[in-house]
Amino acid sequence: MAEITLNNVIKRYGKTEVVHGINLDIAHNEFVVLVGPSGCGKSTTLRMIAGLEDISDGAISIGSDVVNDLPPRKRNISMVFQNYALYPHMSVRENLGFGLKIAKHDDAVVTERVNEAAEILGLDELLERTPAELSGGQRQRVAMGRAIVRHPQAFLFDEPLSNLDAKLRVQMRTEIKKLHQKVKTTVVYVTHDQVEAMTLADRIVVMKDGYIEQVGTPMDVFNHPVNTFVASFIGSPPMNLLPAVIKGGQVVFVDGKSLPVPARLAACVTEGQEVIFGLRPDDLTPVGHGIAESGDSARMTLDVVLSEPLGTETILYTSIAGQEAQGKMFGPRNVTPGETLEFDIAMDKAHLFDAASGRSVRVD
C-alpha cells in the first residue's frame, strides 16, 4: 500500500518560501498529475517527495511512514527525470539493473527483472547498447524501465516528455498510461502541459506560485474551474475571460452589450457585482456549427477577425466588448476575415468569476 500524504509542506530557500504549506492526499495506485506554469513549485514538490530536496516544514508520508528524514534510497520510490539521467558509461542492461545490483539482489533476480521490464517496454533488442546509441524515445523507455524494475511503492515523473518532439510525445503519453494500467502503482507526474495532465491523470493538481489552486478529476477541473487562473490554464484554446458588471439580472459588458445571467448562477451573484464572464471557445459557436445545441443559449452578432482552420473545426477570432475572444466552428465552412456571423453562446456552460478575487462565484 502506498498512499502519499503531504501535510502542510513548506519549502524555503534561505528566506524565500517557494512552496507554501501544501496539503495533498494521493491514494494507492492513483495517477496524480501536478500541473502549472514554470516556477509554480510543482517540481520542487515532486523532489521533496523523492527526498532530493529537504522539507523546510510539514510532513510527507509514503505508505504509513513519515519520510521527511529518509534519504531517497530508503523511500522505495523511483523517478524518471526530464533529461532521463541514464548512466552514460553503462549499457541499457546495466542501467536497468543498477538499482537492483545496489540493493544486492542475486544476479538471477536481476536478469529476470531486467528482462521482464525490457519486455514490457519493448527494449529486448537494445539491452547491450549504450545510452548514446539510443534515440530520444528509446532513452525515455529505458528511463521508465529503470523505474519499474525495482517494483517501487511509487513512480515519480518529472516532465518526462518535454525533451521529445510533438509526435513522439503523444505516443509516449499513451505508453505511460498503458504502463500504469499494467504495473499498478501510485504515480506522481509533473508537467507544464495541460494536455498531458488531462489525458493521463486520475486527478489533476493545478499549482501556481507555490500554492495548490485546485485538485480534481480532469473533467471536474475542466468543467468547474475554481478561479480564473485554472480556467485559463486548463483547456486549449484558453477560456475567454471578459470583464462585466451584474445589472438587473444581466451580465453587462464594458461596451454596454449584455447577456442574461446564467440561470444556474443567478443565486450566486449580487446586483452591481463586478465579475469576469468566462466562456470556453467550444461554447461560442456560429449558429448551426455547435457541438450540441444548448438548452440555455444566448445569441450575439460578432465580426470575425481571423480564422484558423484545423480540419474538424475552425478557430474564429472575434471580439466581444472590445476584448479578443475565440470561438469554434464545428463542421466548418470557409470564413473570410471581416465576415459577420451570428454566434450561439451556451449559457449553461458559461462561468462567472468575482472580478476582485478571481474566484468562481459558484464555489464561494
Q: Which residues bind other proteins (CB under 8 A)?
A: 50-52, 54, 57-59, 68-73, 77-79, 81-83, 85, 87-89, 98-99, 102-103, 146, 150, 156
Nearer to other proteins, 111 or 294 (CB): 111
Closest by CA to 176, choosing from 193, 261, 328, is 193
- CA torsion sign, 31 to 37 to 40 to 46? positive
Nearer to other proteins, 101 or 299 (CB): 101
Nearer to other proteins, 102 or 263 (CB): 102
Nearer to other proteins, 32 or 142 (CB): 142
CB of 328 to other proteins, least distance (A): 38
CB of 44 to other proteins, least distance (A): 13
CB of 259 to other proteins, least distance (A): 48
Number of Cβ within a 10 Å radius of residue 202: 15
Nearer to other proteins, 87 or 324 (CB): 87
CB of 28 to other proteins, least distance (A): 20
CB of 162 to other proteins, least distance (A): 13
Nearer to other proteins, 85 or 305 (CB): 85
Number of Cβ within a 10 Å radius of residue 269: 18
Is the preceding peptide bond at 237 cis, omega within 30 degrees of 0? yes
Pair type for strands 274-279 and 284-286: unpaired
Helices (H), the chain: 42-50, 92-102, 107-121, 136-148, 166-182, 194-200, 218-223, 228-233
CB of 65 to other proteins, least distance (A): 14
**CB within 8 A of 294, min separation 6: which ones?**
283, 344, 346, 347, 348, 349
CA dihedral 332, 335, 340, 345 (to 10 degrees): 30
